Structures are given as C-alpha cells and as structure tokens.
Structure 1
Amino acid sequence: MAKSKSPDMTKGNITAQLLLFFFPILLGTFFQQLYNTADAVIVGQNVGKLGLAAVGGTTSTLINLFIGIFVGLSSGFSVIISQHFGAKNHRLVSECVHTAIMFSLIVGIVVSILGAIFSKTMLSYMNVPEDIMPMAIPYLQIYFLGLAPNLIYNMGAGLLRAVSDSKTPLIFLIISCFINIILDILLIKYMGMGVVGAAVATVTSQVVSAILVIVVLSRRKDALRLFIRKLHINFSELRKMVSIGTAAGMQSAMYTIANILIQASINTLGTDTIAAFTAYGKIDTLFWMTIQSLGISVTTFTGQNFGYGNKERVKKGIIHGMILSVVITGIVMLLLKLFGRSIYTLFTNDKSVLDIGTAMLNFMVVAFPTYITIEIFSGSLRGIGDSWIPMIMTASGVCVLRIRWIIVMVPKYPNIFTILWAYPLSWITTSILFIIYMFLFSKMRRWLKDNIY
C-alpha cells in the first residue's frame, strides 16, 4: 500500500493545522449551502413568496431531518477511520472505506423510496398551509428521489476529511454549486418550471458531486482507495462506526424533530412569517457552517491524535478550537448585524416579510455565542469515541426543553418571539451540561488523566 499523501495532524502547529483543515470545510459548506440558497433566491424572485415558503421552511426541515441523521451516522465512520489513520493501520482504513460506501448506497436507496412515497403525509402532519402544498409536495418528492447521491457524496467527503483531505470535497462542491445555479436560472427563469425546476437542479448537481467523489476515491494511491468490485460490509467495523455514528445521528434527528415542532408552530402564523423564517434559515447558515466546520476540524484532529496516543496535543487542540470559535463567531455576528436586512432583500422585496425576518435575525444573532461550547466539546468527545453521553445531554438540554417550551409557552403567547426563545434557552442549558460533563465525568478527562485506553 502506497503511503498516504494526506496531511498528518499528529504533528505540526496546532492552530495552523486546524485552520488549514477548517477553511476548505468552511468553503465547502458555503458552496453546499449556496446551491440550496440559490433555489430559495431564484424561486423567491421568480415564483414569489408562496414558492419561497414551499422550497424552504417545512420541506427544508424534513430534508434536513433525513440528511442530518445520515451525516451523523457518517461522522462515526469518519471517527473510526481517523483513529485507524492516526494509528497507521492501512488495512482497517481500507475495510472501513468499502463498508462506508456500501452502507451509504443501501441506506440512500431505501430512504429515497420511502421519502417519496410519504412526502404528502409528512407535509400534512406539519400543518403546511393549503396554498403552499401544491408546490411543496412535488419539490419534496423529487428531492427524496435524488437523495441517494447526496448521501454517497456526504459519506465520501467524510472519508476524505477523516484523513485530513478537506480540499477535494471543496472542489466537488464548487463544481456542483455552479451546475445547480446555472440549472436553476435555466429551468426556473427561462423554462418556467417553478419549484420543480429547483428540485431537478439540486438533484442533478448532487449526482455530479457523488460521481466525482467515487471517481477520486477510486484513483487514490493510499489506504483510502476504493475498488467498486470489492464493495462489501465488514460487520465488525460497521458495528464500531455505527455505534459512534448512531449517537450523532440521533442527536441530529432530535435537533430536527424539535425544529419540526417549531416549524409547525411557525406555520400557524401565516405565509409571511413562513417565508421570513425560510429566508432566515438560509441567512443564519453563515454561523452554522462556520461553527460546524470548526467542530469537524476538532473531531478529526482529536481522532488522529487519540489514535496516535498524544494526550497533550489533544488537550491543546480543544483549547485552540475554543479560541478560534469565539473569534469566528464574533466576526459572523458583526456581519449579520450590519448587513442582515440587505441580505434578506436577495430573497424577497415584500416589506412585511422583510420586517418580520429582520426582527428574527436581530433577536437570534446575539444568542449565537451560547452554542459554541456544545459544538467544540461534542466534536472533541466524538473524536475519542465518546458520543452517547453527549447525545443524551443534547436530548435533554436541547430537544426536550425545546419541545416542552413549544407545548407549554407558545399556546399562551402565540407569537414569533415566544417560538424563537426556545433556541437560546436550550443552547445555554446544554452548554452548562457539557461543561460539567467534560471537566468532571467524561472519558476525555479520564483518558487525559489516567490513559485508561
């Protein structure tokens, strides 16, 4: 087996390595969000606020539920592969690669079929207004039918990042993003296909990114090389990867389920509020894609150094990750406070939607710092395979609290700000739980102190 050319995160300047790994992930996430946002922008400008509400809001939340579960599962694959890579065990890296791609293919086909069949039922349960349903149903069905390539790409990108290659997935996303935007303009603006055109454009771009990731994996000269004819399931490694990934997948699912209840509450406030919340969901991704990209960087860094057995480097990586997250969050907050309303005008010029959306954004931006600890601590804990307790804390602090808040408080005070308060309250509570766990009870603390592994 040829020696891997991927960067080795077990040595070198910590901050520099985190940033070098972070920026390609950030740019990749930006382009991933850009082709989703392009749908909303082009639909909003050419179809109107009903189309904007149809391609975002409820449909986006449902799509994120399924993709989030799988991305969470794939994070378990990335953790195990990064540990094997750090330990220089090329045979097990290869076993995990073939298992991961086969697993994503099977799951993708099953979810695509079931999602397309039950799209209308899911939308009905979420109180989607009747005037939006004729657009939302075909958009969601087409998106589900093209979900398998999305899952294959996400798994392949996770495998590359596990061995410190965050640049290649970035290139794929840039290509697929421009394909999506070009098709959006062609199908929506010039061919008048509306939200169906948006769905077709997105699915086509995802097919391209899936093909690219398979081709690159097949041409690598190291342990990550993929042989299509050798695709199989190694159940021993699959159990390890799924054990870690299931916790992350459940955590993502619980986040989204809580957000589904929030979306269902927002759906009762009218089309203007739904459209405003849809655009807000695209705008605040500037924060989420930065903080989550840094979390992925910390996970990979921790996983490789844990596999290598370097305790001091793991500890410093967490500290450097926290410092970087504070600085980055501050920059994002400033940008959104200064230019938030201007960004909203990319989606719509409807004054009512702009007023509601700007008020949402100004409220939420100041709460962003309360989430930092959750992302960095959970990322580092996941890097050493400690994922179940963080998942339980997230379920308690985020999901249960949000659901309880929506059920109890929103009926008493049915307005958008009552709904939005569910976010900062849950972030603060969960951050406190993570701080207590990390410093008093976690496997990380015991490993750093006693080297129990």
Structure 2
Amino acid sequence: MKKNIDLTQGRILGPLMRFTLPIMAALVLQTLYGAVDLLVVGQFASPASVSAVATGSQVLYSLTVIITGLAMGVTILIGQQFGQRKEEEIGNTVGAGICLFAVLSLILTGIMLIMTPVFVRLLKAPPEAFDYTVQYVMICSAGILFIAAYNTLGSIFRGMGDARTPLIAVLIACIANIGLDLLFVAVFKMGAAGAALATILAQACSVILSLLIIRKRGLIFPFSRKQIRFNKTIILRIIKMGAPCALQDLLVSISFLAITAIVNQLGVIASAGVGVAEKLCGFIMLVPSSYTQSMSAYVAQNIGAGLKKRAKKGLYYGMLTSFCFGIIMSYFAFFHGETLSRVFAKDSAVILASAEYLKGYAIDTLLVSFLFCFIGYFNGCGSTTFVMVQGLVGAFGVRIPVSYLMSKAAEVSLFHIALATPCSTVVQIILCLSYFRWKNSKNFTVKTS
C-alpha cells in the first residue's frame, strides 16, 4: 500500500508531485529507450540508417499511441473505482483490460506485417533509406504485444496512484535496450535492423521481469485468473473512455507523420535533422506529458470521491509547476539546440537542421504546460470526446495546413515549419479554456460509469 498514493485526502501539491515525478522519470527512461536506437545508429551507421530509424520510429509511435490512448480508459476507470473505495471491482477491470489489449495487439501486429511498405511509401522516405525503414518497422512490429503489455500494466497501477511499478518496468527495458543496441549496431554492424531487434528483445525482458516483480510483491486488490475474461460491460466502458483518447492521439500522430512526409521531400539531411529534433522533442515534452498522465489519475480519483473543487485545485497546481519546468526546457531547446543535437548525430549538416527545427518547438514547450494539464483534467473527468475534438482541430485545422504552407515558401525554413506546432497549441488552449469555463458555469456533474 505504501507505493499507492491516495490523491483524495490531505495536501494537494506534495502528493501530486510525489505521484508526478516517478511518472516523469518513467517517461524520461521510455523516451531514452526509444532514443537510444537513434543515438547508437547516429554514431555507428550512415545518414540513411538515421533517416530510417527516425521515420520508422514515427510509424511505431502511431501504433503506440493507439494503445496508450485506449489504456487511458483503464486508468480513468480504475482511478474512479479507487476513489470510490471499490477495490473489489478493480480486479474485474484488470481482467477485462488484459483481454482487450491482447486482441488489439494481435490485430495491430497483423496489420503492420502486411501494410508496412505501404505506410513507409506514404511517408515518402528518401529512396536510399526506404528498405532500411521497412526493415526497421517490420522487426519492431513483432514486439507490439510487449508494448501493449507494458502499457496495460502502467495504466492499472497509475489508476491506483502507483507510479513506481511502471518506472521499474521501463528502467528494465531501457537498460536492456542500451546494451543490446551497442551489441547489434556497434559490434555486429547490423544498422537499423540491429536497433529494431534490440528494441523488441528489451521490451520482452521488461514485461517478463515486471510480471515476476508483481507476482512476488502481490496486489492490493482481489484478483484471480477467473477474472481474465471478456466482460462486455467493462470492456465497453474502457472503450467509451479510452477510444476518443486513442483516436485523438492517433490522428495527432498522423498529423506529425504528414509533417515528416513534407520534410522528407526536402532531402535526406532535412529528414535526418527533423528525426533527430523529434527525438529531442520527446525529452523536451516529458514534463507536460507526465502531467497529462498524473492529472488524469488525480482527477479520476477525486471525481470518483465526489471532490470536484479539489480536482480543479489540482489542475491549477499542475499548470503552475509544469510551466516552471517548461521555462527550463524551452531555454535549452532554443539557445542550445546544436549542442543537444550532437548527442544523436555527428554530421554537421544534420545537426544544424535539427537545431533550426528545435527553435520552433522551444515556443511550444511553454504553451503545452497549460494544454497538457487541461487534457489530463478532462480525461480524468471522463470528457474524452472533447479531448479528441480539440486535438483534431489542432492537428488537421492548424498543424498540417501551416506546415504545408511553410514548406511551399520561397525560402523553406525548418524553423517556420516547426512553428505550426505552437500555432496549433494556441488554438487548442483557447478551446480548452472555453470548454472549462462553460462546463463550470453549468455546474456540471461528471459521469463515473
């Protein structure tokens, strides 16, 4: 029980930060886990392999967001059950979630094994990197089952206020991936294929060892194998809450894939440069992303306990602390982009391209401190349909059109293309603020089922 934080009682800021920081650490490791592929390939392989891993990672990220978005439904449902002190119902939710994600992972694996060449072609991967990209994605797709297992475990424990167990899982994966990447890429010279193989083996190690840790430690709620079944009622509730998040995350990811396709037409240097920048952006965005997850669980617990005012206070604390972190991240992204880019690339042209793109993201780092907390708040309230709508407006109404227009300018600048993201965030914040004020003016009631 010590690892679980009851977010419905006592002070707000202290428990919220104790819950958020392990999530932040887990996201750091998870991003490092994905970035190690690009880091090692960037140091020991060709620019074509760097482009392949960069583009392939975008494809795999689109798959991952489907799983993580749907897993948000599990987090919200368990968080509300935990806040209502209905621990006996959590086991049924866990069992239904396991069945749901097992089937989903098998479907996604089948799709990727058939459609990967089509997806890579749509992304307009540079000709010299096309075969490497297909190879990387095909191999990584074999590990979708492990991605689903990790995210299912994480969603369960975050819903109960336990951010440490997911941290252990991703720590195991990160350590394994670093070692295997160095072995396959640096020693065996396997390039992008070696990085992909290292990724799926590390994922498998993480899931297996995490399950052993959970088995030894035990669970705080009643659970048996009989509860692992297709409970139609619970699965529909998970889908109802998680599907809008999954769809929003998927379509937002597609918008970034569209930007990748736009940039890929500018050549292999631009492609590799933006790929490096996107990996760095993964680290830069860790703070607001961690607040999305922690805020979702925090609000879900308090909504389940009927503490709406406490939920709103948590939102304000989250925005304030997230913005303080955002200032630091923005400074390094804008003024030290070249230094950061050298971590993942050694080609000077790629480094300059990456640094130029990062300057646009530096602005967005400040803005998402507010947006991501709003998203977490609405997720916890169960207003996931609105979260989906505002995400789609930002992605397809602003981000893609602005990126396309910037790419057609007389003098194309990666900085100007990157500005499409903060432009989108501004519009989304306006939508969130308007919805928040409208909901509170109506003194709305939140449905917990």
TM range (shorter): over 0.9
- 1:27 corresponds in structure 2 to 25
Change (3 A) 1:410 1:30: same
Change (3 A) 1:228 1:408: same
Contact 1:373 1:434 in 2 (8 A): no
- 1:420 corresponds in structure 2 to 418
Contact 1:265 1:419 in 2 (8 A): no
Contact 2:330 2:366 in 1 (8 A): no
Matches within 5 A, 1:257-336: 257-336=254-333
Offset at residue 337 of structure 1 (A): 3.7
CA distance in 2, matches of 1:188, 1:174: 21
Q: Deviations over 1:38-73 (max 9, x none)?
A: 1101101111211111111x2111111111011001
Change (3 A) 1:54 1:362: same
Question: Which amino acid is the alignment partner of residue 295 of structure 1?
Answer: T
Offset at residue 79 of structure 1 (A): 0.2
Change (3 A) 1:272 1:371: same
Contact 2:356 2:414 in 1 (8 A): no
- 1:60 corresponds in structure 2 to 57
Offset at residue 305 of structure 1 (A): 0.7
Q: Deviations over 1:212-247 (max 9, x none)?
A: 333344455445465445421211111111111011
Question: Which amino acid is the alignment partner of residue 26 of structure 2?
Answer: G
Q: 2:151 aligns with which of 144, 149, 154?
A: 154
1:235 and 2:235 correspond: no
- 1:39 corresponds in structure 2 to 37
Note the residue ranges of structure 1 that are not aligned, 5 or more in a row.
Answer: none
Q: Which moved more, 1:411-420 or 1:69-78?
A: 411-420
Identity score, percent: 25
1:50 and 2:72 correspond: no
Question: Which amino acid is the alignment partner of residue 307 of structure 1?
Answer: G
* SS class of match (1:118): helix
Question: Which amino acid is the alignment partner of residue 295 of structure 2?
Answer: V
* SS class of match (2:230): coil
Change (3 A) 1:372 1:294: same
Change (3 A) 1:309 1:231: same
Question: Which amino acid is the alignment partner of residue 163 of structure 2?
Answer: S
Change (3 A) 1:292 1:74: same
CA distance in 2, matches of 1:135, 1:420: 26
Matches within 5 A, 1:160-175: 160-175=157-172
How many residues of Structure 1 are paired with residues of Structure 2 in the alignment? Answer: 446
CA distance in 1, matches of 2:441, 2:84: 21
1:17 and 2:15 correspond: yes
Matches within 5 A, 1:26-425: 26-56=24-54, 58-219=55-216, 221-224=218-221, 226-228=223-225, 230-408=227-405, 410-413=407-410, 414-425=412-423
Question: Which amino acid is the alignment partner of residue 15 of structure 1?
Answer: L
CA distance in 1, matches of 2:3, 2:355: 46
Query: Following TM superposition, where does structure 1 have runs of at least 4 consecutive aligned residues deviating by more than 6 angstroms?
Result: none
Contact 1:303 1:383 in 2 (8 A): yes
- 2:435 corresponds in structure 1 to 437
Contact 1:69 1:249 in 2 (8 A): yes
CA distance in 2, matches of 1:224, 1:102: 18
* SS class of match (1:269): coil
CA distance in 2, matches of 1:218, 1:228: 13
CA distance in 1, matches of 2:12, 2:332: 27
CA distance in 2, matches of 1:276, 1:238: 42
TM-score for the superposition, normalised by structure 2: 0.94
CA distance in 2, matches of 1:429, 1:243: 26
Offset at residue 450 of structure 1 (A): 5.7
CA distance in 2, matches of 1:403, 1:279: 20
CA distance in 1, matches of 2:416, 2:394: 18
Question: Which amino acid is the alignment partner of residue 236 of structure 2?
Answer: R
Change (3 A) 1:224 1:30: farther
Contact 2:285 2:365 in 1 (8 A): no
Change (3 A) 1:88 1:316: same
TM-score for the superposition, normalised by structure 1: 0.94
CA distance in 2, matches of 1:269, 1:452: 48
Offset at residue 418 of structure 1 (A): 4.0
CA distance in 2, matches of 1:350, 1:300: 42
* SS class of match (2:377): helix
CA distance in 2, matches of 1:4, 1:41: 37
CA distance in 2, matches of 1:427, 1:337: 18
Q: Which moved more, 1:221-230 or 1:349-358?
A: 221-230
Note the residue ranges of structure 2 that are not aligned, 5 or more in a row.
Answer: none
Question: Which amino acid is the alignment partner of residue 26 of structure 1?
Answer: M
* SS class of match (1:379): helix
Change (3 A) 1:380 1:209: same
